[in-house]
Amino acid sequence: MRVVVTQLAATAHLNLVVPIGWALKAAGHEVVIAAQPDIMPAVRQTGLLGVAVGDEARYAERLAELAPEETIYGSGYSITEIRPEVLTYEYVRDCLAAFASPLALEVNTDASVFDGLVSFCRSWRPDLVIWDSMTYTGPVAAAACGAAHARTTIGRDHLGRLRELFLRLRAERPDAAGEDPVRDWLTAKLEKYGCEYTDDLVLGQTTIDSLPSWLRVPTEYDYLPVRYVAYNGPGTIPDWLHTEPERPRVCVTLGNSYQEVWDGRAELGYPELFEAVADLDIEVVALLGPASVPDGVTVPGNVRIPGFVPLDPLLGSCSAIVHHAGTGSTLTALLNGVPQLIVPHALHDEDQVAAAIDAYGAGVHLPPERFSPSSLRTELQRILNDSAFAERARKAQEEMRATPTPHDLVKDLEELVIRHRKAIG
């Protein structure tokens, strides 16, 4: 069968779907990754075919140009909101309306991307479209060409949670029976291509989810679980990683989106990190980009700044990781059974992810309001000295290893196509 994989033009999103693309390719299927032009250099490095659709994303530049009120972050609504007293019918309805609007989804993928992907899919005629939950170009293109389609989560599925809550609250309000902002937004997109709205376009005909069960948000939605497989892009293992470290090794990373989307803005910076670890008997590997160390800041002797190193093999040698709660960093740490010290970045629901890791016992949540070099040092020492963190991290690792692999997923996707592929034209 032919498969189109589409996602936001961000490396962190691409890396999550590459192993699924590999599995489909290895099973004999044709796979093309379709996304905006500025992610194509990274797509070429995956070994899978790519096709550029639409105009360049330029996320960091565009977000820097927009006033807060022009984005979802200044709207007063958050799709990650979990406080029961806030989640009234009106809030949930209006939050979904803000999400399905130029404030959010249309910042991610504009009209040019919808046009480009629909045109390609109508020409290439895929049997299956696998789409990123943060962009709706995928289900619209699938409807336009008759393909089956599967959604992939890029973290905890707050859209699925809020959609479920919205439908439940709406059922209790007879006066609101016709309201559905996501349906209305999608209907307008679909009408441009002569397609009709169906409910499965909102959350997919199935949803592929790589999070362990205890890290997901609570919903009644039936996910298709798949084992997270770490893909960090092409790279080589440096010589110093061939042997066991003489001291406990700690990785520090702020992930790809830190630079690509948010232009280096984060709670954790070099001066604080260096002050926290300078005289500890540990080896720190900081994957933060050597060129961005501020002038006048001295790198301590126990800190290595090696440039790019693939995170997966690096974590196999580490006793702990300090990071921002990005999906790739979090899952790669769980996959390697490494305790985590999380200083969450305020982008999506990183604080909730950090709290869940803390509650599970596989790490520590250090919120920004408590963050300082002193608190970072204290919590890092606690993680390294208390074996309970490593034991819980290994338990999480065992659960992930018991989850079906992308290879196992292929059969489910083949069956999805048999059930849902439509002949058009």
Q: Give the model's confidence band at 61: pLDDT under 50 very low, under 70 low, under 90 confident, else very high.
A: confident
pLDDT of residue 194 exceeding 60, the answer is yes
Phi-psi bin for 85: left (phi > 0), alpha (psi -120 to 50), beta?
alpha
Cβ neighbours of residue 175 under 8 Å, at least 6 residues apart? none
- Which residue's structure tokens are 């919903």? 219
pLDDT of residue 347 exceeding 80, the answer is no
Can you tell me the distance from the alpha carbon of 21 to that of 278, in angstroms, rounded to the nearest whole number?
Answer: 42
Can you tell me the distance from the alpha carbon of 16 to that of 335, in angstroms, rounded to the nearest whole number?
Answer: 14
Can you tell me the distance from the alpha carbon of 92 to that of 192, in angstroms, rounded to the nearest whole number?
Answer: 27
Can you tell me the distance from the alpha carbon of 121 to that of 142, in angstroms, rounded to the nearest whole number?
Answer: 8
**Region 157-174 average pLDDT:** 96
Can you tell me the distance from the alpha carbon of 390 to that of 214, in angstroms, rounded to the nearest whole number?
Answer: 18
Q: What percent of the chain clears pLDDT 90, i.e. is strictly above it?
A: 78
Q: What is the pLDDT of residue 272?
A: 87
Q: What is the pLDDT of residue 260?
A: 46
Q: What percent of the chain clears pLDDT 70, i.e. is strictly above it?
A: 95
**Please, what are the domains in the chain?**
2-227+404-420 (3.40.50.2000), 239-401 (3.40.50.2000)
Q: What is the pLDDT of residue 94?
A: 95
In tens, the pLDDT along 363-399 reads: 999 998 999 999 999 999 999 999 999 999 999 999 9
Q: CA–CA distance from 339 to each of 45, 65, 71, 160, 184 (Å)?
A: 30, 38, 34, 29, 44
225 SS3 class: strand
Residues 55/113, Cβ–Cβ less than 8 Å: yes
Question: C-alpha angle 329/153/321, rounded to 5°?
Answer: 10
In tens, the pLDDT along 76-94 reads: 899 999 999 999 999 999 9
pLDDT of residue 136 exceeding 80, the answer is yes
**Region 186-199 average pLDDT:** 97
**Region 24-48 average pLDDT:** 97
Can you tell me the distance from the alpha carbon of 357 to that of 304, in angstroms, rounded to the nearest whole number?
Answer: 26
Can you tell me the distance from the alpha carbon of 108 to that of 253, in angstroms, rounded to the nearest whole number?
Answer: 24
Q: Which two tokens stand for residue 394?
A: 């290994």
Q: Which secondary-structure segment (H or E) carries 374? A: helix 373-385
Which of 260, 127, 147, 150 is closest to 203 using CA atoms? 150
- Return the sign of the alpha-carbon dihedral for residues 354, 358, 362, 366: positive
Strands 30-35 and 2-6: parallel
Can you tell me the distance from the alpha carbon of 38 to that of 43, in angstroms, rounded to the nearest whole number?
Answer: 10
Q: What is the pLDDT of residue 262?
A: 40
Q: What is the pLDDT of residue 127?
A: 98
pLDDT of residue 324 exceeding 50, the answer is yes
pLDDT of residue 288 exceeding 80, the answer is no
